[in-house]
Amino acid sequence: MGNYNSGGHNRTHGRVEEYCRIDSFRLLQYADWFERLSDYGEYHYPVMGGKIYYNLMEDTARISHNGREYPLGLSKVPNVDGLSYRLYFLCPKCQKRVRHLYKKDGLYQCRKCARLNYGIQQRSGLSLIRRKMYWLVVKKLQYVDWEVDHPDLPIQDLWHIPKPRYMRWAKYDVLMEEYRRLQKEYETMYNASLMKAFGRINKLLGYD
């Protein structure tokens, strides 16, 4: 399996790319397109193998697929304008607020309950950069609630990290510059790994 740096601890998990998923943001867009954000009626949103029946005014929903039906919790998070909001699912297994649910073992569930990783997480160099970013975000910038504010968003994709209340702006700017540097390093390594993967696939297919 290898040591922690090898990524072997992640290979015991499945990969999100291999499973069907639903996106709460898309459900909200779907409702907006059909002007159902302020309607008390129950409507349906098509998903793989079934439908989500939802009522956004009452914050209720249920999933029906493959002959099985079970409730689905919804959570609204107000935006800064105080008028609009973001919509999240409550995982049917752990009840945590997440944006994405994955269909596994006949049930839609969050990535952690489904024991899924991003395929790229199984690469050691990228794992090391993510750990550096986690230390920077949680320990130095004291942003311990980043997973609550950005459910199901990888730490390397954070677009905003608030300044700690008593931290000087000069120090905050230095730490943010380091975080952005790590983001660029991660992106470069990620793209390089994709190119290698495509190269192997082309070689196997005889395109080289």
What pLDDT was estimated at residue 2?
A: 37
pLDDT along the chain (208 residues), means of 10: 40 65 88 82 82 89 84 89 87 90 86 76 72 92 87 84 93 95 90 78 67
What pLDDT was estimated at residue 67?
A: 76
Contact status, residue 24 vs residue 88, Cβ threshold 8 Å: yes
What pLDDT was estimated at residue 12?
A: 45
What pLDDT was estimated at residue 192?
A: 83
100-104 and 21-23 beta bridge pairing: antiparallel
What pLDDT was estimated at residue 22?
A: 87
* Extended strands (E) in 28-122: 43-47, 50-55, 60-65, 68-71, 73-78, 85-90, 97-98, 100-104, 107-109, 116-117
